[in-house]
Structure 1
């Protein structure tokens, strides 16, 4: 990656660390996460600092507190599973959301150290970090929230809540098994996210009486239609050798769109929904 792309990716990671994760954790409704959110700056600030330090021991050391913070989040996945004793689609999505920031943090520590984790060069690890903040954490969480707020028995909502975690896992597996597996993961993830966008646009957007919330939901749905098509194009090109966008172009379009248009708008909308409608809030909190 060139310098400009690296700086853009770092800004997206900064957004994920400082805003997206704490906003999302507030929507999970899991006992104990409130304390993690209060202490989150102790993890996010040094993690953010590590992005602007030269690769090496100091940068890796600064990223370690962030890794510990994400580990604290991940420990709530088995705790939640033990508490709710359910592997319903919406719960699978939320459990995935709780686990994925730790994947991003491990990649961050390795990348900041300049260590080729599992043989992957630092520039690949650098892209893994925002991917598991936005396509991992945020996408899975929003899919779970959409599933919970949808009509009981909604097959589309359940499919979305399962497809997003499955697609994310396939993409991760594709790092080891090859570009065609990654493409398969992109197909599954895109299908899940398009379902999330469709349900949000068709059902949830029309349910709210607040114009600002409706606009945020509309933007997040519309952005998904475009950004996930770009993800499919890029993954197909990587697997087949067909022409496809460069990493610089993908960061500026797919990356920025998913971070601002989908992740931030979605979480702000869900925050407003929980304040606006107690019924939706109760459903979303689980």
Structure 2
């Protein structure tokens, strides 16, 4: 399983988070963007090493970076005092890497956190880079892009249900499989709305590469969230589901490359262009 999960996490640290941070606004975030690349390299190196004190030290550096990033969310909330759907999505994107950072430290120790062993902790690191950061970011960007259109209400629902689903899945780790299933259902519904709106958005942008990237991310989301829902149903009711290894190789890899990478690259291209609707989320 590790062979599929570690590269996906490294992709999140080294590419998806820094590109995504360029699409967000918060007090102090400009400084974070400048020093994020070396922090991400340190985090990726910690994953490449065996469990050891140096690996833990490098993981601590990465975790510290994610905690500083979470601090920009608090600063943004103090500044704007807004919990509008777009803002909730943006705040979620800024905060969730800290969950991944804390999990990474304990996983590199080789220990347990709240009863969860290294294998689940590694998956948690991946989950909160993608279902946390990338999914919330893209939901917010889609809501921002459709704010003036007829799909405004659906976009607002997506911007709220994606963070809510992510939180419910996290709570479900402790509260039981039924809560985790509820979280997976909410998150799946939100991501399918994001997929539908992204597909609709692609028809209105002139950048050909962005259109292709949005199309790929939309199609991939339909499949990967079906797999996530099936996994949660299997955990709750024992229906057939993929093993953790196959989930990492399918749901995990497709989410990392087909959704996360394609979506943030698409919005990065649009942000660099002339379409003001897709500039930094809730700037």
**TM-score range relative to shorter protein:** over 0.9
Residue of structure 2 in register with 1:18 after alignment: 14
Residue of structure 1 in register with 2:230 after alignment: 233
Gaps of 5+ in 1: none
1:200 pairs with one of 198, 201, 211: 198
The question of 1:119 aligning with 2:112 is answered: no
Mapped contact 1:103–1:132 kept (Cα < 8 A): yes
Q: How many residue pairs get matched?
A: 281
Displacement of 1:285 after TM fit?
A: 5.0
Residue of structure 2 in register with 1:35 after alignment: 31
- Alignment map for 1:232-271 (pairs within 5 Å): 232-271=229-268
Determine the C-alpha separation between the residues in 2 that align with 1:284 and 1:106: 26
Determine the C-alpha separation between the residues in 1 that align with 2:203 and 2:160: 24
The question of 1:177 aligning with 2:175 is answered: yes
Mapped contact 2:25–2:280 kept (Cα < 8 A): no
Mapped contact 2:97–2:132 kept (Cα < 8 A): yes
Residue of structure 1 in register with 2:96 after alignment: 100
Mapped contact 1:149–1:283 kept (Cα < 8 A): no
Q: 1:189-225 CA deviation, whole Å, 9 max, x = no partner?
A: 00000000101111x1011111111000000001001
Determine the C-alpha separation between the residues in 2 that align with 1:70 and 1:200: 28
Residue of structure 2 in register with 1:189 after alignment: 187
The question of 1:273 aligning with 2:270 is answered: yes
Residue of structure 1 in register with 2:163 after alignment: 165
Displacement of 1:167 after TM fit?
A: 0.2
Displacement of 1:151 after TM fit?
A: 3.4
Determine the C-alpha separation between the residues in 2 that align with 1:30 and 1:40: 15
The question of 1:150 aligning with 2:156 is answered: no
- Alignment map for 1:212-223 (pairs within 5 Å): 212-223=209-220
Q: Which has the higher contact order (CA 8 A, sep 6+)?
A: 2
Mapped contact 2:23–2:279 kept (Cα < 8 A): no
Residue of structure 1 in register with 2:45 after alignment: 49
Determine the C-alpha separation between the residues in 2 that align with 1:282 and 1:258: 23
Mapped contact 1:217–1:265 kept (Cα < 8 A): yes
1:283 to 1:137, Cα distance in 2 relative to 1, 3 A: closer
Normalising to structure 1: TM-score of the pair?
0.95
SS in 2 for 1:131: helix
Residue of structure 1 in register with 2:72 after alignment: 76
Mapped contact 2:23–2:280 kept (Cα < 8 A): no
Mapped contact 1:275–1:281 kept (Cα < 8 A): no
Determine the C-alpha separation between the residues in 2 that align with 1:214 and 1:80: 31
Mapped contact 1:107–1:129 kept (Cα < 8 A): yes
Normalising to structure 2: TM-score of the pair?
0.96
Determine the C-alpha separation between the residues in 2 that align with 1:282 and 1:104: 27
Determine the C-alpha separation between the residues in 2 that align with 1:267 and 1:182: 27
Displacement of 1:58 after TM fit?
A: 2.3
Determine the C-alpha separation between the residues in 2 that align with 1:27 and 1:123: 32
Mapped contact 2:159–2:190 kept (Cα < 8 A): yes
Provide the alpha-carbon RMSD of the alignment: 1.3
